[in-house]
Amino acid sequence: MERCPWCVINELEIKYHDEEWGVPVRDDRKQFEHLSLEVMQCGLSWDTVLQRREVLRACFDGFDFERVAAYTEGDVQRIMDTPGMIRARRKIEAIINNARCFLRIREEFGSFSAYLWGWTSGKSLVYRGHAHGHIPPSNALSARIAQDLKRRGLRFVGPVTIYAHMQSCGLINDHLETCHRFRQLIEHYDTEIIDDE
- Catalytic residues, by residue number, are 16, 38, 46
Close Cβ partners of 51 (under 8 Å, ≥ 6 residues apart): 12
CA separation for the pair 194, 172 (Å, rounded): 11
d(CA 80, CA 116): 30
Kindly report each contact of residues 133-140 with a partner whose C-beta sits within 8 Å and lies 24 or more positions away, as own/partner: 133/176, 134/196, 135/174, 136/163, 136/196, 137/163, 138/162, 138/163, 139/163, 139/196, 139/197, 140/197
Long-range contacts of 9-18 (CB under 8 A, 24+ apart): 9/47, 10/47, 12/47, 12/50, 12/51, 13/46, 13/47, 13/50, 16/50, 17/181, 18/181
